[in-house]
């Protein structure tokens, strides 16, 4: 038989059935093969959109920082830093007083008796608080002068923009009626600058007052309160040493120093504050949001990885058919639960439960128990772990299924136990797929919005990692949460609006980097195994 006539009946039928020159096979190949092209196009459009909406942020932020410096408000902020340090010292002293009141109540003293006992130490507390008054008043007065200048400048800028719009629309008479004045920042700043000698005098009196009052620190006759008092003395001594540094920074500050675009970039990437709608200066720092996202993600993966991977290994290698049919659908069903429902559960049940458990007497030995906030990184992370487990479980089990059966049979034939076979043969062989499963689970966690928005507490602060494991019970804010919370309330094209898009761009780039390094890890493992 001629080779050319040896085609199958299916092939002949397929060749006869064509449309516009395309057979069924070629059409399907083009349809599904085009997914990669579509993915690239979509990825490019998303990147372009994020860049387009966020492109003007750094220019706007630089102009804002420049105005902040030229108006002299940055100068006032240096003095306010010293004021805040003194306020923190005062708050610590007040915490000692509050603790004394609690101890007296625990010992059975009524209000009048507590007042009589505390009368001797009250003068010390009030005298120390009075020491902060001159510095606070000096900062307030300087801020009022320079804020008024800044506000007047912004008002004139708005009038100038309004005048330009009137001129473009041909309304010359209305444009000419607007009175636009030049605001001389130097004039206002010189008024504040001329009072530097007063600021230096305030510091001298402050140091002298603290040094004079410390010897009269009350003796509470209680070990705990006495330890806190000694700590207060140490903090007061540290503050005295820092006064000279604050003063040097204030005196060395220059209003004319330029603000390069790189300063706006570093202030965003490495900034430690996210403050909007401030009467002084808006700050858009990424560190509080990124650290909050990573903390929640770490909590989630701490639970999701061992549970998801462990469940996959058990179902695939150990469980009987009945167990497999029961466990697998229930785990995969979790992914069908809407995230908002899980968030409601976190608010109403899980967060409250965690706080109540932390108050048990049997757990009083834990330093950070009881916790005060029911919505925190642990609450959000625990719920996100629940959402990540189905992803990790399903993909990890698929990876285990792809291990050739001959590997298991050869291991068992060599006398290995089931556990040895799983640990030394099955899991290492499927490790690349398991790593992919974990990373995809991490991607699900880091990109989740509704749960963290409802359950993370939404406090924009850098978590206090120095406190150890207790940091997971602090309220945090995340990159996804800040976008969902604030994007609907900002003016289109404003600096705040573009800042949120820059946060989205950073989140997008993080996801791309995670996938890139995941591929590198997987390929490295595959090469080493081969």
pLDDT in tens, 90-124: 999 998 888 888 888 888 888 777 777 787 788 88
Helix (H, G, I), strand (E, B) or coil at 462: coil
The Cβ of residue 171 has, within 10 Å, a number of other Cβ atoms equal to 13
Residue 161: give the domain boundaries. 73-254
Inside any domain, residue 152: yes
- For residue 466, pLDDT over 90 is answered with no
Do 341 and 245 lie in one domain? The reply is: no
Do 200 and 89 lie in one domain? The reply is: yes
- For residue 528, pLDDT over 60 is answered with no
Inside any domain, residue 11: no
CA-to-CA dists, residue 529 to 10, 432, 520, angstroms: 41, 10, 14
d(CA 462, CA 283): 14
Whether residue 370 has a cis bond before it, omega within 30° of 0: yes
d(CA 310, CA 316): 10
* Tokens encoding 413: 């034939």
- Which residue in this structure is represented by tokens 């932390």? 358
pTM: 0.84
Do 293 and 427 lie in one domain? The reply is: yes
Helix (H, G, I), strand (E, B) or coil at 2: coil
Inside any domain, residue 3: no
Do 524 and 477 lie in one domain? The reply is: yes
Question: pLDDT tens digits for 333-383?
Answer: 888 899 999 999 999 999 999 999 998 988 888 888 888 889 999 999 999
Do 235 and 299 lie in one domain? The reply is: no
Question: pLDDT tens digits for 135-165?
Answer: 999 999 999 999 999 999 999 998 998 889 8
Q: ∠ at Cα 89 (84, 91), nearest 5°?
A: 90
CATH number at residue 516: 1.10.3720.10
The Cβ of residue 107 has, within 10 Å, a number of other Cβ atoms equal to 10
Do 297 and 239 lie in one domain? The reply is: no
d(CA 308, CA 321): 19
- pLDDT computed for residue 217 by the predictor: 87
* Tokens encoding 528: 């080493």
Question: pLDDT tens digits for 238-252?
Answer: 999 999 999 999 999
CB 308 within 8 A of CB 441: yes
Inside any domain, residue 264: no
CB 279 within 8 A of CB 147: yes
CA-to-CA dists, residue 305 to 300, 391, 434, 501, 517, angstroms: 8, 10, 10, 31, 18
| Element at 275 (helix H, strand E) | strand 274-275
What pairs with residue 18 in β-bridges? Answer: 23
d(CA 422, CA 316): 10
- Cα-Cα-Cα-Cα torsion 462, 466, 467, 470, nearest 10 degrees, comes to 60
CB 50 within 8 A of CB 505: yes
d(CA 376, CA 472): 7
Helix (H, G, I), strand (E, B) or coil at 56: coil
Query: With bands split at pLDDT 50, 70 and 90, how would you rate the model's confidence at 74?
Result: very high
Domain final residue pick, 254, 271, 305 = 254
d(CA 401, CA 379): 34
* Tokens encoding 218: 């009350």
Domain final residue pick, 254, 273, 308 = 254
Q: ∠ at Cα 374 (373, 378), nearest 5°?
A: 100
Inside any domain, residue 48: no
- Tell me how long the chain is: 530
Query: With bands split at pLDDT 50, 70 and 90, how would you rate the model's confidence at 522?
Result: low
Do 241 and 335 lie in one domain? The reply is: no
Do 232 and 307 lie in one domain? The reply is: no
The Cβ of residue 240 has, within 10 Å, a number of other Cβ atoms equal to 16
Query: With bands split at pLDDT 50, 70 and 90, how would you rate the model's confidence at 12?
Result: very low
Do 112 and 154 lie in one domain? The reply is: yes
Instruction: Give the count of domains, the chain.
Output: 2
Helix (H, G, I), strand (E, B) or coil at 284: strand
d(CA 243, CA 172): 56
CB 384 within 8 A of CB 481: no
Inside any domain, residue 7: no
What radius of gyration, in Å, describes the C-alpha atoms of the chain? 33
Do 223 and 79 lie in one domain? The reply is: yes
Question: pLDDT tens digits for 81-99?
Answer: 999 999 999 999 998 888 8
- pLDDT computed for residue 459 by the predictor: 93
468: left (phi over 0), alpha (psi -120 to 50) or beta: left
Query: With bands split at pLDDT 50, 70 and 90, how would you rate the model's confidence at 527?
Result: very low
Q: Which ranges constitute the DSSP H helices of 107-222?
A: 111-131, 133-168, 172-177, 185-193, 196-213
- pLDDT computed for residue 55 by the predictor: 85
Inside any domain, residue 435: yes
């Amino acid at each position: 038989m001629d080779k050319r006539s040896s085609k199958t009946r299916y092939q002949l039928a397929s060749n006869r059935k064509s449309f516009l020159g395309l057979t069924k096979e070629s059409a399907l190949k083009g349809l599904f093969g085009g997914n990669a092209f579509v993915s690239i196009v979509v990825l490019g459009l998303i990147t372009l959109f994020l860049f387009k909406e966020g492109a003007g942020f750094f220019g706007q932020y630089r102009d804002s920082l420049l105005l902040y410096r030229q108006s002299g408000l940055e100068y006032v902020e240096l003095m306010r830093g010293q004021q805040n340090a003194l306020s923190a010292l005062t708050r610590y002293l007040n915490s000692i007083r509050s603790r004394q009141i609690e101890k007296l109540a625990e010992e059975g003293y009524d209000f009048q008796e507590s007042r009589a006992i505390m009368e001797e130490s009250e003068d010390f507390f009030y005298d120390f608080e009075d020491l902060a008054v001159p510095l606070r008043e000096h900062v307030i007065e300087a801020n009022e002068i320079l804020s008024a200048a800044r506000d007047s400048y912004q008002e004139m800028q708005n009038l100038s923009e309004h005048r330009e719009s009137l001129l473009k629309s041909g309304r010359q008479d209305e444009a000419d009626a607007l009175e636009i004045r030049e605001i001389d920042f130097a004039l206002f700043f010189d008024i504040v600058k001329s009072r530097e000698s007063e600021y230096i005098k305030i510091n001298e009196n402050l140091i002298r007052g603290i040094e004079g009052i410390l010897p009269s620190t009350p003796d509470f006759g209680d070990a705990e309160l006495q330890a806190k008092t000694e700590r207060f003395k140490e903090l007061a001594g540290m503050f005295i040493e820092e006064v000279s540094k604050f003063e040097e920074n204030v005196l060395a500050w220059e209003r004319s120093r330029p603000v390069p675009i790189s300063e706006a970039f570093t202030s965003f990437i490495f900034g430690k504050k996210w403050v909007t709608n401030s009467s002084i200066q808006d700050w858009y720092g990424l560190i509080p949001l990124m650290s909050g996202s990573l903390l929640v993600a770490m909590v989630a993966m701490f639970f999701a990885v061992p549970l998801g991977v462990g469940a996959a290994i058990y179902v695939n290698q150990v469980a009987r058919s009945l167990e497999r049919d029961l466990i697998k659908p229930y785990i995969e069903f979790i992914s069908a639960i809407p995230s908002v429902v899980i968030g409601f559960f976190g608010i109403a049940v899980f967060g409250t439960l965690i706080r109540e458990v932390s108050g048990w007497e049997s757990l009083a030995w834990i330093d950070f128990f009881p916790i005060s906030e029911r919505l925190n990184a642990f609450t959000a992370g625990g719920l996100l772990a629940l959402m990540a487990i189905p992803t990790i479980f399903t993909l990890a089990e698929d990876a285990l299924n792809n291990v050739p059966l001959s590997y298991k049979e050869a291991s068992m034939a060599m006398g290995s136990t089931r556990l040895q076979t799983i640990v030394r043969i099955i899991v290492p062989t499927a490790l690349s797929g398991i790593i992919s499963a974990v990373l995809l689970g991490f991607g699900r966690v880091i990109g989740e919005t509704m749960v963290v928005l409802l359950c993370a507490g939404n406090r924009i602060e850098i978590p206090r990692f120095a406190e150890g494991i207790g940091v997971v019970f602090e309220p945090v804010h995340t990159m996804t949460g800040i976008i969902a919370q604030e994007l609907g309330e900002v003016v289109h094209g404003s600096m705040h609006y573009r800042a949120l898009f820059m946060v989205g761009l950073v989140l997008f780039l993080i996801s791309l980097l995670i996938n890139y390094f995941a591929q590198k890890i997987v390929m490295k493992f595959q090469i080493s195994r081969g």
